[in-house]
Amino acid sequence: MISLEERIAEQLPNWRERVNRLRNEFGDFKVCDVTVSQIYGGIRGVQIQVSDISYVDPNEGIRIRGYSIPELLKILPKLPGAEFPLAGGVYYLLLTNELPTFEDAMIVEEEWRKRSLIPTYVYNTIRRMPKETHPMTLFSIGIMALQKESVFAKEYEIGVVKDDHWRYFLQDSLNLTAKLPGLAAFIYNLKYQDGIYLPPKADHDWSANFGVMIDREGDPKYYDLCRLFFFLHCDHEGGNVSAHATHLVSSALSDVYLSCAAGMNGLAGPLHGLANQECLKWLLDVREYFNGIPTQEQLESFLRLSLSEGKIIPGYGHAVLRTTDPRFTAQLEFARSKNLNSDLLQLVEMVFAILPGILMENGKVSNPWPNVDAINGALQYHFGVKEFDFYTVLFGVSRILGLSAHIVWARALLKPIERPKSLTTSMLESMISKK
Ligand SMILES: CC(C)(COP(=O)(O)OP(=O)(O)OC[C@H]1O[C@@H](n2cnc3c(N)ncnc32)[C@H](O)[C@@H]1OP(=O)(O)O)[C@@H](O)C(=O)NCCC(=O)NCCS
């Protein structure tokens, strides 16, 4: 695709020069020291890579290519009549580091439309799995099945210069991302809608077409929710499990399909992407416990009791953020501006009004504020997408936009294979005793 490829190619000499200068002139400069606690504590907080695609500021939330969520919601191009951005523009920004015009966004949308056809063998592979297989497993299998189509893998066999690896990664990324709404919709329909097949509409955008394909055609509010959701979840810097896994696997020159499937397997974990289904389940359990919506007093006592019993309240807290996640705020504003009335959304508002104060009193939690998962599920549920084991697939559809952009750039900047070193317990003990 000329426009995206050209935009990246134009910037590459400058980026490569900056990276080379850092490596050659400041190769010994220490960014941070690693402590024993960090080694045993999930390398938490250790800055292990550079990525310019997004950065999570603890006090402000994510910035994508330097722009905050509220800024991007205002300035990214939208279709006439739509209130939320075109995913094509989001992908353009992630990949090129430049704000897209409406035409730029539509060029990506058109590329996706042309590349969206999913080969029948992929559907058949998924169909052969037992019905009770988790949707995330099916999603990962679908991506792996598509790997046969990898342009990079074919070109690598023939022999391609390292300088150009990124071009084939870009082709694979466009081919894979084009198919994601269709793949997700196929899994949703297979599992929950008797395997119906609804084709995408040529005049609908990538995000809205997901709605079309799961039988929400003609619902502009759901189209806007898809646009908002797919934008908000597109990236969360490089250190989280799915981003790190994708980056690591791609450093072995595993193609975009193999690398993104690895990321999706990480996203499927309960401590990462699966948290949004936990959160909705918690809201439903609270509603059932009270046989409806509790009063403020009832909810407050319930939350205090849960915390005193050592229970985790899903949707609150974050490993990096120390403020309300702007992605939560954007979705809350969506619910308010679209006048969505449901008891679950009312419960989301009530918990938001009460819980941070209690968590602050408690003092143990580093961040008492809601994260994106505190509302995600309640919104999908409102629109009748009630099968919450599916929510991580939606997250995955969006997140692969960021993951694939990261690895296109990793190849463009000629990043080598990752190979950190491990040591044994005795070695560590001996190092400490010598000090
Ligand atoms: C996101 C999360 C895993 C971050 O973990 P973390 O960085 O270790 O968080 P903290 O430093 O604030 O944890 C300090 C303590 O507060 C507790 N805590 C954190 N968030 C809590 C919550 N939402 N409810 C109750 N207790 C919580 C932790 O369990 C920990 O207790 P411990 O010392 O007894 O083990 C954690 O906040 C959590 O489990 N939240 C709920 C699940 C969730 O929403 N996940 C999606 C994240 S996007």
User: pLDDT tens for residues 138-158?
Assistant: 999 999 999 999 999 999 999
CA–centroid distance, residue 318 to ligand 1 (Å):
7
- CA-nearest residue, atom 44 of ligand 1: 315
Checking if the pLDDT of 337 tops 70, the result is: yes
Q: pLDDT-derived band of residue 212, with 50, 70 and 90 as boundaries?
A: very high
pTM value?
0.95
The finding on whether 56 has its CB within 6 A of some atom of ligand 1 is no
How is residue 328 written in tokens?
Answer: 């939560």
CA atoms within 13 A on the CB side of 39: 11
Count how many domains the chain has. 1
Amino acid residing at 345: L
Atom of ligand 1 nearest to the CA of 307: 25
Checking if the pLDDT of 269 tops 80, the result is: yes
What is the average per-residue pLDDT within 9-16?
97
Q: Does some domain include residue 21?
A: no
CA–centroid distance, residue 312 to ligand 1 (Å):
7
Q: Does some domain include residue 252?
A: yes
Q: Does some domain include residue 132?
A: yes
Q: Does some domain include residue 422?
A: no
CA–centroid distance, residue 107 to ligand 1 (Å):
42
Q: Does some domain include residue 368?
A: no
Q: Does some domain include residue 173?
A: yes
Catalytic site includes residue 52: no
CA–centroid distance, residue 368 to ligand 1 (Å):
9
Candidates 94, 42, 151; CA nearest to 399 is 94
Mutate to test the pocket of ligand 1, among 351, 364, 367, 391 (most ligand atoms within 8 A of CB): 364
CATH of the domain at 186: 1.10.580.10
Q: What is the distance between the alpha carbons of residues 271 and 401, in angstroms, rounded to a whole number?
A: 21
- CA-nearest residue, atom 16 of ligand 1: 365
Q: Does some domain include residue 183?
A: yes
Q: Does some domain include residue 358?
A: no
Q: What is the distance between the alpha carbons of residues 323 and 238, in angstroms, rounded to a whole number?
A: 20
Catalytic site includes residue 255: no
Atom of ligand 1 nearest to the CA of 317: 37
Catalytic site includes residue 33: no
The finding on whether 373 has its CB within 6 A of some atom of ligand 1 is yes
Q: What is the distance between the alpha carbons of residues 177 and 1, in angstroms, rounded to a whole number?
A: 14
Q: What is the pLDDT of residue 1?
A: 61
How is residue 186 written in tokens?
Answer: 């196929």
Mutate to test the pocket of ligand 1, among 366, 376, 391, 399 (most ligand atoms within 8 A of CB): 366
User: Which residues make Cβ contacts (< 8 Å) with residue 110, sequence separation at least 6?
Assistant: none
Q: pLDDT-derived band of residue 45, with 50, 70 and 90 as boundaries?
A: confident
The finding on whether 96 has its CB within 6 A of some atom of ligand 1 is no
Checking if the pLDDT of 276 tops 90, the result is: no
Rounded alpha-carbon distances, angstroms, from residue 384 to 56, 192, 200, 222, 336: 32, 12, 20, 10, 18
CA–centroid distance, residue 36 to ligand 1 (Å):
21
% of the chain exceeding 90 in pLDDT: 94
CA–centroid distance, residue 365 to ligand 1 (Å):
6
- CA-nearest residue, atom 13 of ligand 1: 365
User: Is 380 within 8 Å of 178 (Cβ atoms)?
Assistant: no
Checking if the pLDDT of 255 tops 90, the result is: yes
The finding on whether 364 has its CB within 6 A of some atom of ligand 1 is yes
Q: Which domain holds residue 207?
A: 93-273+389-412
Candidates 204, 78, 1; CA nearest to 89 is 78
Checking if the pLDDT of 2 tops 70, the result is: no
Amino acid residing at 167: R
